[in-house]
């Protein structure tokens, strides 16, 4: 695996691991890419991710690819603090001067971090949005959490974000439940950007959308990543998404990172046998 | 299993007999002490809802049992009590609660704010000026200001602990967007001392400014929900509203009290019949009467 | 002190109270004596004592008579009275195996260890109105019944084996006995709020309004958001327990009487992914007096709440919505004057109307 040196990384993930079920001696050896399973036959535990290391620089988008169940979402959710991790150290340079391990924050601090440092865009917009609240209200939520108290100021900011994410402004005061899937996803992205976060985590942001809508959302994300100089992690099992959004990516297989490469290099010349399989399947 | 009391036969007979022989201020001393401890806690952490072992009172839960417990826990032999409901000393509930306080303590009652030391109220703050020597006891049916946005008590506890009130703000935002105005009526949510959001019993918005930087101590008692909270004198009390959406008290559009012709008090409407226009009177009956006598 | 106003409110209240007394006490029939409630409305007295959390048949009878049989009102009278009393002592822990059995049913086995005692029960009686009931003409002369009545207990010894122990010996019971021995949560001194210890849930249910608990159980079986799994009953017991306190001077254990309880152990089939699937678990119910409906509902809700592991709102429902005085008081408070709040509501209705864009106002016109 070629080592890539990242200058000025914003995010540094070291030794991240997550095991569902009892953690016993030898569980790591009994699972992984080389064994061909993430499930420890002795205990039934799932080693969903183990020994995951990577860095992301400002303005850079890192991709995570791999088949279904390989641990992509797990890695993302551990970093976001949606689930507790079993091992690892994650530093965000802009959060508490990079002195805190994001994985060991108490719940209150973690929520604070999620207000203006780290945002998540979930595959299912219902997870990231309050469906019974208007599009504007969904954006007002992180804004008021960050201390915004001016009604017209909040309206203006929401309008601006919805415009950038191409949500029709005349729908701003409608509840999100009345929106189509693509529109919901755009509102979710608008909301995620509300407080200019340093890091955006996107989990399959276009899965479930039809091809033309997906293309629009991808265009949008790419534009926003550039415009805001965001650090981002994009999880997808779809290489076209990864190709479009990221310069660099990691490949996961049964909970382990099997390759860490520049995206175009990976697509041209994958090293790991599993990556080769994955790329050739995608090319077919 | 714990037995709460042990009687012998003769004791029981005295209970079953004519005179129940109730203690001063109804509650046993232990209970009063416990409630006072909770109140001290509440005063020290303004706006924080302090759980307490609410006792069953001779009035039903929801009928002022929380306010009554506070009054009975703090009342001394020289106190003078005023009790109002909707601003009226003569409302049946006010009469009943006052009767309980007075008969169980032997203290004096008054309808005059200036004479009183403890003012127990449901839904109003008296119009008269209240000063340091007054304690206002408000009866609270629903102490949880966030219940409209969250039902789960574990989550509610977390939101208060972290001062995570953004969903409350979103509900105000949504209200304004949908209705053009903030439609919250009584019990307007306020931020106390910059820290805790409280439910202001349901007093009208008219009374909210009185809570801010007041000279008097306000104690809130929710008997059914088993919590007390407090706004100590000279405490910052801010109704939750946006900087550019002024907090509005109730408007009566130039209406005047038909008895004292006041337009500067909280007025309640009596609807007209047969197409006649309705009339207005002061909700605070003692204040209205004093004005007429002047 | 100055009290200028006419005292119309007080007069009205006094008149209402007078009317209650007159209608209740001046009836032509004879006054019902307290002993008659205790002797002839036994189940009602038991239920009231259970919901009041107070074992005192004479006071319960008095409360029922005063409240004209309104059971929530009766419980209210007893609990409000209790608020005036100091707490003199706490009893020593009671071992439920010391129960003198009046009834024991074990549906889970035909021949459990120890006896099945049908005892006093109408479970298998045809529900037919009987004009002779209560007249004395129906009393039995069967010697066995006569002994039961005379002793107010069966001849059965205490320490009847429990199904729970049988299952445990067969290694069919998941073991969640704890070795620390925390004081039980006192719901009369600290409000029980989720997440609460099991003892708080059990005490709340023991004092709950019987109908509310029954409904809680049934809506969790059949309602749209049910969390219950139907249990198999291991033990349904009704019997008498001795009460002892530590003597304040001698420190010796002194018996101060006894009370009756209903006790239920409910066997639950564990089938969850994370559960001990080759074993059973047990839910527990115990309440004052003879009230099997309540104890069974309690046992099933106890185990359901444990299995739920505070994932759902079941615990909050149990702790916060089953108390009869809470729910009845809050419902009835709607009868109080609300004209200040209503005035404020009307004012906002007008404000909303005025804030509407004029186009819409035009629509209405
Ligand atoms: N709560 C859970 N309990 C047990 N195992 C879990 C749990 N959540 C996820 N897993 C397991 O962890 C592994 C990784 O799951 P993850 O959701 O991270 O996969 P993924 O790569 O995001 O897949 P997909 O592309 O399908 O979204 C899977 O084997 C999954 O079954
Ligand atoms: Mg996934």
C149 and C247 within one domain: yes
B225 and B95 within one domain: yes
C314 and C217 within one domain: yes
Domain containing B125 — which CATH number? Answer: 3.40.50.11310
The pLDDT of residue C148: 66
* Residue that finishes a domain, picked among C82, C110, C131: C82
Are the beta carbons of C84 and B22 separated by less than 8 Å? yes
The pLDDT of residue A211: 82
B108–C contact, CB cutoff 8 A: yes
A195–B contact, CB cutoff 8 A: no
C115 and C76 within one domain: no
Residue B9 has pLDDT above 90, yes or no: no
C255 and C106 within one domain: yes
* Residue that finishes a domain, picked among B210, B237, B264: B237
C59 CB neighbours in chain B (<8 A) are 12, 15-16
A135-145 vs B166-179: helix axis angle to the nearest 10? 140
The pLDDT of residue B16: 42
Establish whether residue A20 lines the binding site of ligand 1, counting it when its CB lies within 6 angstroms of any ligand atom: yes
Is residue C72 one of the residues assigned to a domain? Answer: yes
C29 and C100 within one domain: no
Establish whether residue A212 lines the binding site of ligand 1, counting it when its CB lies within 6 angstroms of any ligand atom: no
The pLDDT of residue B72: 97
C247 and C169 within one domain: yes
C359–B contact, CB cutoff 8 A: no
How would you write B196-209 as a 3-class SS string? EEECCCCCCHHHHH
C51 and C161 within one domain: no
B72 and B37 within one domain: yes
Would you state the structure tokens that stand for residue A3, as one six-digit string? 């080592």
Is residue C344 one of the residues assigned to a domain? Answer: no
Ranked by mean pLDDT, the top range of A1-10, B6-15, B183-192 is: B183-192
* Alpha carbons C106 and B290: distance in angstroms, whole number: 73
B290 and B211 within one domain: no
C239 and C200 within one domain: yes
Is residue C265 one of the residues assigned to a domain? Answer: yes
Is residue B172 one of the residues assigned to a domain? Answer: no
Are the beta carbons of C325 and B56 separated by less than 8 Å? yes
Q: Number of helices (H) and strands (E) in chain C: give both, helices first.
A: 14, 4
Residue B13 has pLDDT above 50, yes or no: no
B255 and B139 within one domain: no
Establish whether residue A137 lines the binding site of ligand 1, counting it when its CB lies within 6 angstroms of any ligand atom: no
B261 and B137 within one domain: no
C70 and C105 within one domain: no
Among A65, A71, A255, which residue has the most ligand 1 atoms within 8 Å of its CB, making it the best to mutate? A71
A133, A142, A145: residue with CB nearest B174: A133
Helices (H), C268-338: 292-308, 314-321, 324-332
Could you say which ligand is closest to the alpha carbon of residue A37? 1
B115 Cβ contact list (under 8 Å, min separation 6)? B80, B82, C1, C2
B166 CB neighbours in chain A (<8 A) are 141-142, 144-145
Q: Which of residues 81-140 of C touch B (CB under 8 A)?
A: 81-91, 94
- Stretches in chain A below the pLDDT threshold 50: 1-3
Q: Distance, in angstroms, between B215 CA and closest chain C CA?
A: 24
The number of C-beta contacts closer than 8 angstroms across B and C is 223
Q: How far is CA C79 from CA B14, C75, C205, in A?
A: 18, 6, 16
* Alpha carbons A104 and A102: distance in angstroms, whole number: 6
C316 and C268 within one domain: yes
Are the beta carbons of A111 and B162 separated by less than 8 Å? yes
Is residue B114 one of the residues assigned to a domain? Answer: yes
The pLDDT of residue C6: 45
Are the beta carbons of A151 and B176 separated by less than 8 Å? yes
Is residue C361 one of the residues assigned to a domain? Answer: no
Residue B80 has pLDDT above 60, yes or no: yes
Q: Cβ-count burial of B154 within 10 angstroms (0-12 exposed, 13-18 middle, 19+ buried)? A: middle
C69 and C196 within one domain: no
A111, A134, A150: residue with CB nearest B243: A150
The pLDDT of residue A225: 85
Task: Tell the residue nearest (CA) to atom 28 of ligand 1.
Answer: A69
B173 to chain A: nearest residue by CA?
A: A137
- Looking from the CA of residue A49, the nearest atom of ligand 1 is 14
Q: How remote is the CA of residue A125 from the centroid of ligand 2, in Å?
A: 14
The pLDDT of residue A1: 44
* Alpha carbons A262 and A258: distance in angstroms, whole number: 14
Are the beta carbons of C188 and B4 separated by less than 8 Å? yes
Cβ(A16)–Cβ(A75) under 8 Å?
yes
Establish whether residue A208 lines the binding site of ligand 1, counting it when its CB lies within 6 angstroms of any ligand atom: no
Number of domains in chain B: 2
Is residue B276 one of the residues assigned to a domain? Answer: yes
Give the catalytic positions of B in this structure.
47, 257, 260, 282, 288
SS3 A161: helix
State the residue range of the domain holding B129.
Answer: 3-143+202-237
* Alpha carbons B209 and B107: distance in angstroms, whole number: 31
A140–B contact, CB cutoff 8 A: yes
The sign of the torsion formed by the CA atoms of B204, B206, B210, B213 equals: positive
The pLDDT of residue C159: 76
Establish whether residue A48 lines the binding site of ligand 1, counting it when its CB lies within 6 angstroms of any ligand atom: yes
Are the beta carbons of A150 and B164 separated by less than 8 Å? no
Number of domains in chain C: 2
Are the beta carbons of A137 and B245 separated by less than 8 Å? no
Per-residue DSSP letters for C22-91? HHHHS-SSPPPPHHHHHHHSHHHHHHHHHHHT---HHHHHHHHHHTTT-HHHHHHHHHHHHTTS-----B
B165 CB neighbours in chain A (<8 A) are 144
- Looking from the CA of residue A18, the nearest atom of ligand 1 is 12
A139 CB neighbours in chain B (<8 A) are none
Is residue B182 one of the residues assigned to a domain? Answer: no
B290 and B216 within one domain: no
B178 Cβ contact list (under 8 Å, min separation 6)? A173
The sign of the torsion formed by the CA atoms of C31, C34, C39, C40 equals: positive
CA B231 to chain centre: 11
B30–A contact, CB cutoff 8 A: no
Are the beta carbons of C5 and B289 separated by less than 8 Å? yes
C49 CB neighbours in chain B (<8 A) are none
Is residue C358 one of the residues assigned to a domain? Answer: no
Is residue B225 one of the residues assigned to a domain? Answer: yes
Is residue B196 one of the residues assigned to a domain? Answer: no
Model pLDDT for residues A55-100, shown as the tens digit of each residue: 999 889 999 999 999 999 999 999 999 999 999 999 999 999 999 9
Could you say which ligand is closest to the alpha carbon of residue A17? 1
Are the beta carbons of B173 and A137 separated by less than 8 Å? yes
B57 and B111 within one domain: yes
Mean pLDDT, all residues of chain B: 92
B174 CB neighbours in chain A (<8 A) are 133-134, 137
State the residue range of the domain holding C19.
Answer: 9-82
Q: Which chains touch C (3 or more CB pairs under 8 A)?
A: B
The pLDDT of residue C227: 76
Model pLDDT for residues C76-120, shown as the tens digit of each residue: 999 999 999 988 889 999 999 999 999 999 999 988 888 899 999
The pLDDT of residue B179: 96
Model pLDDT for residues A237-267, shown as the tens digit of each residue: 888 889 989 999 999 999 999 999 999 999 9
Establish whether residue A275 lines the binding site of ligand 1, counting it when its CB lies within 6 angstroms of any ligand atom: no
B122 and B258 within one domain: no
A144 CB neighbours in chain B (<8 A) are 165-166, 169-170, 173
C85, C337, C343: residue with CB nearest B5: C85
Are the beta carbons of B242 and A140 separated by less than 8 Å? no
A149–B contact, CB cutoff 8 A: yes
Is residue B56 one of the residues assigned to a domain? Answer: yes
A173 to chain B: nearest residue by CA?
A: B177
* Alpha carbons C68 and A91: distance in angstroms, whole number: 70
- Average pLDDT (B75-94) is 95
Is residue B176 one of the residues assigned to a domain? Answer: no
A216 Cβ contact list (under 8 Å, min separation 6)? A166, A182
B171 to chain A: nearest residue by CA?
A: A137
C284 and C146 within one domain: yes
Q: How remote is the CA of residue A195 from the centroid of ligand 2, in Å?
A: 25
Is residue C347 one of the residues assigned to a domain? Answer: no
Strand ranges (E), C203-310:
232-246, 253-269, 280-288
The number of C-beta contacts closer than 8 angstroms across A and B is 49
Is residue C78 one of the residues assigned to a domain? Answer: yes
Partners of A13 in the β-ladder = A54, A90
- Stretches in chain C below the pLDDT threshold 50: 1-6, 153, 361-365
B124 and B261 within one domain: no
A81–B contact, CB cutoff 8 A: no
B78 and B17 within one domain: yes
B84–C contact, CB cutoff 8 A: no
Is residue C125 one of the residues assigned to a domain? Answer: no
Cβ(A234)–Cβ(A241) under 8 Å?
yes
B255 and B133 within one domain: no
Question: pTM for this one?
Answer: 0.91
B213 and B285 within one domain: no
C256–B contact, CB cutoff 8 A: yes
């Amino acid at each position: 695996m070629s080592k890539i040196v990242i200058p000025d990384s914003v995010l540094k993930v070291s030794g991240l691991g997550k095991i569902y079920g009892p953690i016993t001696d030898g569980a790591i050896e009994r699972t992984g890419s080389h064994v061909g399973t993430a499930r420890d036959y002795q205990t039934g535990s799932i080693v969903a991710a183990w020994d995951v290391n990577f860095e992301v620089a400002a303005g850079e988008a890192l991709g995570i690819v791999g088949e279904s169940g390989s641990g992509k979402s797990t890695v993302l959710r551990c970093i976001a603090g949606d689930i507790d991790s079993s091992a690892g150290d994650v530093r965000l340079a802009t959060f508490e001067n990079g002195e805190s391990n994001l994985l060991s924050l108490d719940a209150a601090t973690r929520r604070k971090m999620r207000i203006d440092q780290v945002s998540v865009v979930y595959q299912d917009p219902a997870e990231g949005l309050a469906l019974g609240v208007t599009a504007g209200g969904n954006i007002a939520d992180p804004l008021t959490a960050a201390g915004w108290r001016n009604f017209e100021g909040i309206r203006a900011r929401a309008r601006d974000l919805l415009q950038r994410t191409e949500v029709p402004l005349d729908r701003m005061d409608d509840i999100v439940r009345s929106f189509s899937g693509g529109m919901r996803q755009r509102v979710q992205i608008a909301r995620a950007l509300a407080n200019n976060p340093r890091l955006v985590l996107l989990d399959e942001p276009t899965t479930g959308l039809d091809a033309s809508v997906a293309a629009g959302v991808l265009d949008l994300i790419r534009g926003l990543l550039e415009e805001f100089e965001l650090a981002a992690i994009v999880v997808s099992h779809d290489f076209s998404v990864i190709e479009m959004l990221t310069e660099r990516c990691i490949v996961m297989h049964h909970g382990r990172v099997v390759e860490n490469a520049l995206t175009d290099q990976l697509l041209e010349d994958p090293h790991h046998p599993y990556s080769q399989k994955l790329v050739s399947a995608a090319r077919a | 299993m714990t037995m709460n009391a042990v009687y012998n036969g003769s004791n029981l007979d005295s209970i079953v007999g004519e005179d129940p022989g109730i203690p001063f201020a109804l509650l046993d001393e232990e209970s009063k002490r416990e409630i006072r401890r909770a109140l001290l806690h509440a005063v020290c952490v303004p706006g924080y809802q302090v759980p307490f072992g609410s006792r069953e009172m001779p009035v039903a839960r929801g009928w002022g049992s929380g306010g009554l417990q506070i009054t009975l826990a703090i009342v001394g032999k020289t106190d003078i009590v005023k009790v109002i409901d909707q601003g009226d000393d003569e409302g049946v509930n006010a009469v009943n609660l006052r009767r309980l306080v007075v008969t169980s303590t032997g203290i004096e009652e008054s309808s005059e704010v200036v004479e009183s030391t403890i003012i127990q109220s449901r839904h109003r703050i008296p119009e008269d000026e209240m000063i340091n020597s007054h304690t206002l006891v408000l009866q609270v049916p629903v102490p949880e200001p966030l219940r409209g946005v969250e039902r789960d008590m574990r989550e509610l506890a977390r939101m208060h602990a972290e001062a995570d009130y953004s969903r409350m703000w979103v509900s105000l935002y949504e209200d304004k967007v949908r209705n053009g105005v903030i439609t919250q009526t009584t019990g307007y949510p306020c931020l106390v001392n910059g820290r805790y959001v409280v439910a202001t019993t349901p007093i009208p918005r008219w009374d909210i400014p009185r809570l801010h930087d007041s000279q008097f101590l306000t104690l809130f008692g929710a008997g059914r929900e088993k919590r007390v909270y407090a706004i100590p004198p000279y405490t910052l009390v801010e109704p939750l509203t946006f900087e550019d959406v002024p907090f509005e008290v109730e408007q009566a559009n130039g209406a005047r009290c038909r008895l004292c012709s006041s337009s500067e008090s909280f007025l309640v409407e009596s609807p007209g019949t047969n197409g006649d226009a309705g009339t207005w009177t002061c909700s605070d009956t003692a204040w209205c009467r004093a004005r007429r006598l002047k | 002190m100055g009290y200028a106003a006419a005292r119309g409110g007080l007069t009205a209240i006094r008149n209402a109270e007078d009317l209650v007394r007159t209608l209740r006490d001046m009836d032509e029939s004879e006054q019902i004596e307290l002993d008659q409630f205790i002797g002839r409305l036994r189940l009602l007295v038991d239920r009231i004592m259970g919901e009041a959390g107070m074992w005192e048949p004479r006071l319960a009878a008095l409360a029922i008579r005063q409240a004209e049989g309104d059971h929530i009102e009766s419980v209210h009278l007893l609990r409000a009275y209790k608020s005036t009393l100091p707490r003199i002592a706490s009893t020593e822990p009671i071992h439920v195996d010391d129960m003198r059995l009046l009834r024991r049913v074990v549906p889970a086995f035909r021949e459990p260890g120890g006896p099945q005692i049908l005892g006093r029960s109408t479970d298998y009686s045809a529900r037919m109105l009987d004009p002779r009931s209560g007249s004395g003409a129906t009393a039995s002369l069967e010697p066995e019944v006569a002994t039961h009545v005379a002793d107010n207990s069966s001849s059965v010894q205490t320490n009847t084996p429990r199904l729970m122990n049988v299952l445990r010996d067969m290694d069919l019971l998941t073991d969640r006995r704890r070795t620390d021995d925390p004081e039980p949560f006192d719901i009369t001194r600290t409000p029980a709020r989720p997440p609460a210890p099991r003892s708080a849930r059990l005490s709340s249910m023991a004092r709950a309004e019987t109908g509310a608990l029954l409904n809680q159980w049934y809506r969790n079986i059949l309602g749209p958001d049910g969390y219950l799994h139907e249990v198999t009953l291991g033990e349904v017991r009704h019997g008498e327990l001795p009460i002892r306190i530590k003597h304040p001077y001698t420190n010796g254990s002194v018996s101060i009487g006894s009370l009756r309880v209903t006790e239920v152990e409910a066997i639950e089939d564990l089938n969850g992914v994370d559960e001990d699937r080759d074993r059973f678990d047990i839910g527990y119910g115990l309440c004052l007096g003879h009230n099997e409906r309540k104890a069974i509902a309690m046992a099933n809700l106890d185990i359901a709440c444990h299995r739920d592991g505070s994932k759902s709102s079941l615990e909050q429902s149990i702790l916060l919505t089953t108390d009869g005085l809470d729910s009845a008081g809050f419902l009835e408070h709607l009868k109080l004057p609300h004209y200040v709040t209503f005035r404020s509501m009307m004012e906002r209705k007008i404000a909303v109307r005025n804030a509407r864009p004029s186009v819409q106002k035009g629509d209405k016109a």
